[in-house]
Structure 1
Amino acid sequence: MTEKSGFIRYVVAGALALAGLLLPAVPADAAGPAATGSDAGRNFSGQAFDTCQAPDLDTMKAWIAHSDYRAAGIYFGGRARACTSQTHLTPDWVRQTTKDGWSLLPIYVGSQSPCVTGSNKNPYRIDTSRPASQGASEAADAVRQAAALGVGPGSALYLDMEAYDIGNASCAASTLKYIQAWDKGVAASGYLSGFYSSADSGIKHMATSRLAGVSDLPKVLWYARWGVAPTLSDEPSLGPDAWTPHARIHQYHGAVTESHGGKKLSVDRDLVDAPVAVVG
């Protein structure tokens, strides 16, 4: 995701094997409904952007008046979040932008996979001695921070897991335990768990896990595949019936500069059919 100026997304290319990591695949219809889609919360369909710093209210007003965007990703927490000084991201900002017609996609950049590809995330890797307890702890932190902003139960909270080596079986296993614990913790507090990653790493990992009958997977997937036409139905890493309905976001272009209503931002572009924040 666009977390800072000049940041380049690491996308794992090609098919990566998961040999020895998961159980043999089972038919897609045998996987539990929790991994196939979301029909709770408040859904949004349309164009969205995400950007590192939550823009000021004047910029948000200009963009909703002069662009096709109607949803925005906000980096609300997590120890691996790059933009920690979110000057504008306050409960009042959340209320006002929602009142003005914006739908919000809350993003939590928690601990990263032990085999994360990007070196800038290395200091924030999952502790392989306690991935489940760490995932549970960070889920509780995500819920606290979301609630403090006025993002209430029924909202989707999106865990940002940058690209990692899913061919590394022990690393992928620790990553999965963390994600499952994060999913359970968020769900226990009445929120929906979402998951962002590159299409050929984290998203493929979730899809393979689903086919193997793994439980406690994210209910919504946000996949990064750049350089292709935006699509919510033709992602190669996902089966046509997986994570449907209203459970997919495609980040199809990144780090682009746009200006609307005289206000300029560097953003990633997203196509959305998924749950967003519920703001009281």
Structure 2
Amino acid sequence: MSLTGAGVLAGGAFAAAAANATTVTRPAPTVFTGHAFDTCTAPSLTAMKGWYASSVYHGAAVYVGGKNRGCAQPQLTASWVKSVSATGWKLIPLYVGAQPPCQTSNNPEKITAANATSLGATDAADAVAKEAGLGMKTGSPVYLDMEYFDPANTSCVNTVLAYVRSFDKTVKAKGYWSGFYGFSNSSAAVIANARTRTDLPEILWYARYDDIYSTTKGFPYASTLYTGHRRGHQFAVNKKVTHTGGTLTIDRDAWDAPVAVVAK
């Protein structure tokens, strides 16, 4: 499919989901379709302005919070968000929540079978608060970052799904859209292949490093899943790229999904 431009989606499945929100009526999301990038630390305002004017990138992911967020964010303030949005950038808010119990890492926050539901709700409330503090309003998505784990580990999968369902249910109740980032052969596959779809993410951002700029070609799951502007594809990783404003180390994304709604 063509990946150009940006716009507001006000119909279809998103509109139906908005009408069914249980606590807060959610505005239809703003959808961006085009080139996006993510980088560990939000770039300077100078870099963002230069890149917007001189590159194909008009979408950028930012790590808004989470106890497992790996990089400091000295630039990421409400003022920065407002300024880059005024420049024209479409922002993709990413929250690094608790990680799977079977994951081999030293992350400070991990899910357990005992705390999955309560922790999912707590982290979701924190994610929404972090976005709101940055000026990202209701109708914005929250993309939950879940890193690699063994999808064949049934107990681990069940614990992750309990956490994700609680996280998403809470996010939706607060007027935000639920998104998910994960590896195509691991965490994203667990979400895409889950038999019971209740309270699963509404938007899927999958990492598949095939160097294909598309959200349809090579889509690794059933073609009926996450249609209607609900997909992001991270197709290349750790690339040093230079444009006006400086050199950044980025991951490259094909984007056709909701982005933050920023207060003006």
> TM-score, with normalisation over the residues of structure 2?
0.87
Q: More displaced, 176-185 or 227-236?
A: 227-236
Cα distance between partner residues in 1 of 2:30 and 2:146: 23
Could you say what secondary structure the match of 1:164 adopts? coil
Deviation digits for residues 11-63 of structure 1, max 9, x if unmatched? xxxxxxxxxxxxxxxxxxxxxx86xxxx9310000000000111110000110
- 1:169 corresponds in structure 2 to 154
Could you list the per-position Cα deviations for residues 86-117 of structure 1 after superposition, in whole angstroms to 9, with x for gaps in the alignment? 11100010001000000000000010111225
Amino acid at match of 2:196: G
- Alignment check: 8 A CA contact 1:186 1:192 kept: yes
Match of residue 110 from structure 1: 97
The aligned amino acid for 1:229 is I
Determine whether 1:93 maps to 2:80. Answer: yes
Whole-angstrom distance in 2 between the partners of 1:230 and 1:202:
21
Matched, 1:77 2:62: no
Structure 2 gap ranges (5+): 1-15, 18-26
Aligned-partner residue type, residue 140 of structure 2: S
Please name the residue that 2:110 is paired with: 125
Q: Does 1:207 align with 2:192?
A: yes
Aligned-partner SS, 2:186: helix
Q: Distance in 1 between matches of 2:259 and 2:28?
A: 10
Same amino acid, percent of matched pairs: 44
**CA positional deviation for 1:207:** 1.6
User: CA separation in 2, counterparts of 1:178 and 1:94?
Assistant: 29
1:56 to 38, 41, 44: 44
**Deviating more after overlay: 172-181 vs 213-222:** 213-222
> 1:257, 1:124 → 2: CA distance?
30
State how far apart, in whole Å, the 2-side matches of 1:120 and 1:47 are: 33
RMSD of aligned alpha carbons: 1.6
One-letter amino acid matched to 2:76: L
Taking the aligned partners of 2:44 and 2:106, their CA distance within structure 1 comes to 27
Q: In structure 1, how many angstroms separate the alpha carbons of the residues matched to 2:199 and 2:186?
A: 18
Q: Deviations over 1:230-269 (max 9, x none)?
A: 2211345311111011000000000110010150110000
Are 2:240 and 2:247, in contact at CA under 8 Å, matched by a contact in 1? Answer: yes
Gapped runs of 5+ residues in structure 1?
A: 1-32
Task: Give distance in 2, aligned partners of 1:97 and 1:228.
Answer: 27
Residue 120 of structure 1: CA displacement? Answer: 4.8
Stretches of 4+ moved more than 6 A in 1?
A: none
Higher RCO, Cα 8 Å, sep 6+: 1
| 1: CA distance, partners of 2:211 / 2:47 | 28
